[in-house]
């Protein structure tokens, strides 16, 4: 029943001392995208990594780069991330004063435009932009850190968003980010998710390649 569900391992949970090895693990696995979390210490209470590290990742990555910006005023860097090879560029709803303009600017650089929403942000706020958005990233944890536990309200949000997408005849993909494991993956897909991001569950497992394979099996 499931259509082409994508898995996007989050490199935030990789071993940064062995970044090339971990990027290559994703290359050689059944995963679909590399999920890259950029945090500025202002929008979220943590700083991850920035452009030079993304450049190093890009050098080795063979799959599309799904870049998740947890930064204030992301418009400043849209061109920069396009030049760094991002295929999907996701900005936070809460960080944009002129979201419609930001979405158009991302598309004008040839990238898929993503909008992430925090756990407290209501889906209905996307009603007027949904047809323009290529991907909505529903945060299933408060952004800023890997390894947090999944917020159960995410299922309801996913169902509500899926209904809105259908109702508006939009083609938007739904991505779920935070606390994804083999325990909630199937239910998320049943609720309408298209892309699952997983960090700790993959990289902290004994055999990340096998864990990705198992996630794919659950979803097939
Ligand atoms: C959280 C990040 C996530 C994070 C997910 O702010 O956006 O992408 O890396 O990590 P896990 O899967 O460990 O919750
Ligand atoms: Zn993320």
- Has residue 54 been placed in a domain? yes
Q: Which of 177, 195, 211 best tests ligand 1's pocket when mutated (most atoms within 8 Å of CB)?
A: 177
Q: Is the CB of 141 under 6 A from ligand 1?
A: yes
Q: Is 114 exposed, middle or buried (0-12, 13-18, 19+ CB in 10 A)?
A: buried
Q: What is the pLDDT of residue 4?
A: 87
132 belongs to the catalytic site: no
At 67, phi and psi to the nearest 5? -95, 120
Q: What is the pLDDT of residue 220?
A: 84
Number of structural domains the chain divides into: 1
- Has residue 110 been placed in a domain? yes
Q: Which residues contact 133 (CB under 8 A, 6 or more apart)?
A: 103, 113, 114, 115, 126, 170, 172
What residues make up the domain containing 168?
Answer: 6-219
- Has residue 119 been placed in a domain? yes
- List the CATH number of the domain containing 204: 3.20.20.70
Residues with Cβ within 5 Å of ion ligand 2?
A: 37, 68, 177
State yes or no: 194 annotated in a binding site.
no
- Has residue 176 been placed in a domain? yes
pLDDT tens digits in sequence order for the chain, 220 residues long: 457 899 999 999 999 999 999 999 999 999 999 999 999 999 999 999 999 999 999 999 999 999 999 999 999 999 999 999 999 999 999 999 999 999 999 999 999 999 999 999 999 999 999 999 999 999 999 999 999 999 999 999 999 999 999 999 999 999 999 999 999 999 999 999 999 999 999 999 999 999 999 999 998 8
């Amino acid at each position: 029943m499931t259509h082409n569900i994508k898995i996007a391992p989050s490199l935030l949970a990789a071993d940064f001392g062995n970044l090339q090895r971990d990027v290559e693990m994703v290359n050689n696995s059944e995963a679909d995208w590399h999920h890259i979390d950029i945090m500025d210490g202002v929008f979220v209470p943590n700083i991850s990594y920035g452009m030079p590290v993304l450049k190093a990742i890009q050098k080795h990555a063979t799959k599309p780069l799904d870049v998740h910006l947890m930064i204030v005023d992301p418009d400043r860097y849209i061109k920069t991330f396009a030049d760094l090879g991002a295929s999907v560029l996701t900005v936070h709803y809460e960080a944009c004063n002129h979201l419609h303009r930001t979405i158009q600017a991302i598309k004008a650089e040839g990238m898929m435009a993503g909008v992430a929403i925090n756990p407290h942000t209501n889906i209905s706020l996307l009603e007027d932009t949904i047809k323009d958005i290529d991907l909505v990233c529903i945060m299933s944890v408060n952004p800023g850190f890997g390894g947090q536990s999944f917020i159960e309200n995410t299922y309801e949000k996913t169902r509500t968003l899926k209904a809105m997408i259908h109702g508006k005849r939009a083609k938007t993909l739904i991505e779920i980010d935070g606390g994804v494991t083999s325990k909630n993956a199937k239910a998320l897909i049943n609720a309408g998710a298209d892309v699952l991001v997983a960090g700790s569950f993959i990289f902290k497992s004994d055999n990340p390649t096998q864990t990705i394979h198992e996630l794919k099996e659950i979803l097939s």
